[in-house]
Amino acid sequence: MSKLDNTFGQQTVSQNERSNKIRRVFQLVAPRYDLMNDFMSFGTHRIWKHFFVNFIPFSSNDIIVDLAGGTGDIARKLVKKGAHVIVVDPSIEMMQAGEKTNLRQVINVAGIGERLPFADSSIDKLTISFGIRNMTSMSDALKEIHRVLKPGGQYYCLEFSQPMMPIRPFYNLYNQYVIPRLGALVAGQPEAYQYLIESIKRFPHQEEMKSLIEEAGFSEVTYRNLFFGIACIHIGTNKS
């Protein structure tokens, strides 16, 4: 188990403690999660997600799993483009929050990334948007993703990353002081958004994440920065 998998906030905790705390966070923020994302990113997350979905090639027969799909915003975009999508998320509250706007073709399944409820080599593509950092064990989740993907299947991950140096100090100050206050104002949950900021701060930078994906067995691992590296798309292929 890596140091990354064991670290939560300022202290080392067990996987069960980390898992329970993450679930509590998303229970708290579920009702206003999408609204809060709009406030935190000034709507930029919608642009990133639109680009992300258009970046993913797929055929009409592909089965796509959107892991940590939450309220289903990525799944809805994929379905509108003709994809067959299964949302997998451990938070029932998050999936329920998205049910009013989800399309009928979106299937919700309760599950965690470290133990995906799919057979080996059964999925064509797996996407995850701003969720891989919330796995109890990122390395285990990446290995599971590799396991369920068919040979030639691809993994697409949109996640916060390390911005380029000219904007990094301003970005860090915004995360540290502004976002928790927005969480208190809009969602009434400053402590939940403090966790989200800590998880962003501790997330591996682009090259480190590339190495972790390769260690899980993926080939042709690449990444593409968005908005000066504040967000990044990571891609890997199962060549086994």
Alpha-carbon dihedral sign for residues 179, 142, 116, 122? positive
Dist. CA 149–CA 62, nearest whole Å: 11
pLDDT for residue 180 is more than 80 = no
Q: Which long-range contacts (CB under 8 A, 24 or more apart) does 178-184 make?
A: 179/40, 182/36, 182/39, 182/40, 183/29, 183/36
Which amino acid type is present at position 190? P
Q: What is the mean pLDDT of the segment spanning 192-208?
A: 83
Mean of pLDDT over the chain = 84
Question: Which range (46-50, 69-73, 181-185) has the least confidence?
Answer: 181-185
* Interhelix angle 73-80/44-55, nearest 10 degrees: 40
Global pTM reads 0.83
CATH topology of domain 3-237: Rossmann fold (3.40.50)
Confidence category of residue 100, pLDDT binned at 50, 70, 90: confident
In the structure encoding, which two tokens stand for residue 165, read together?
Answer: 């140096």
Three-state SS string over the chain comes to CCHHHHEECCEECCHHHHHHHHHHHHHHHHHHHHHHHHHHHCCHHHHHHHHHHHHCCCCCCCEEEEECCCCCHHHHHHHHCCCEEEEEECCHHHHHHHCCCCCCCEEEEECECCECCCCCCCEEEEEEECCHHHCCCHHHHHHHHHHHEEEEEEEEEEEECCCCHHHHHHHHHHHHHHHHHHHHHHHCCHHHHHHHHHHHHCCCCHHHHHHHHHHCCCEEEEEEEEHHHCEEEEEEECCC
The answer to whether residue 3 scores a pLDDT higher than 90 is no
Ordered by start, the domain boundaries in the chain are 3-237
pLDDT at 4: 34
pLDDT tens-digit readout, 138-154: 999 999 999 999 999 99
Lowest-confidence region among 42-51, 72-81, 133-142: 42-51
User: Residue 66 and residue 76: Cα distance in Å, rounded?
Assistant: 10
pLDDT above 50 for 11: no
35-40 contacts at long range (C-beta below 8 A, 24 or more positions apart): 35/186, 35/187, 36/182, 36/183, 36/186, 36/187, 36/193, 39/182, 39/186, 40/179, 40/182, 40/193
Question: According to the model, what pLDDT value does residue 10 have?
Answer: 33
pLDDT in tens, 76-86: 999 999 999 99
Please compute the mean of the pLDDT values over residues 114-135 and round it to a whole number. 95
d(CA 215, CA 118): 21
- 77: tokens are 């975009």
